[in-house]
Amino acid sequence: MSKIKPSKGAPYARIMGVGGYRPTRVVPNEVILETIDSSDEWIRSRSGIATRHWASPEETVTAMSVEASGKAIADAGITPEQIGGVIVSTVSHFKQTPAVATEIADRIGAVKPAAFDISAGCAGFGYGLTLAKGMIVEGSAEYVLVIGVERLSDLTDLEDRATAFLFGDGAGAVVVGPANEPAIGPTVWGSEGDKSETIKQTVPWTDYREGSVEKFPAITQEGQAVFRWAVFEMAKVAQQALDAAGISAADLDVFIPHQANMRIIDSMVKTLKLPEHVTVARDVETTGNTSAASIPLAMERLLATGQAKSGDTALVIGFGAGLVYAATVVTLP
Residues annotated as catalytic are: 122, 258, 289
Provide the 10 A C-beta neighbour count for residue 212. 10
CA angle 8–10–13, rounded 5-degree value: 145
- In whole angstroms, give the CA distance from residue 133 to residue 11: 10
Closest CA to 217 of 209, 228, 229: 209
Q: Are 284 and 43 in contact (CB under 8 A)?
A: no
- In whole angstroms, give the CA distance from residue 84 to residue 67: 19
In sequence order, what are the beta bridge partners of 199?
Answer: 221
Q: Are 10 and 178 in contact (CB under 8 A)?
A: yes
H-only helix segments in 273-314:
284-287, 294-304
Amino acid present at 290: T
Say which DSSP state 307 is in.
S
In sequence order, what are the beta bridge partners of 139?
Answer: none
Torsion on CA atoms 184, 298, 250, 310, rounded to nearest 10? 60
| 25, containing H or E segment | strand 25-28
Q: Are 64 and 78 in contact (CB under 8 A)?
A: no
Say which DSSP state 229 is in.
I
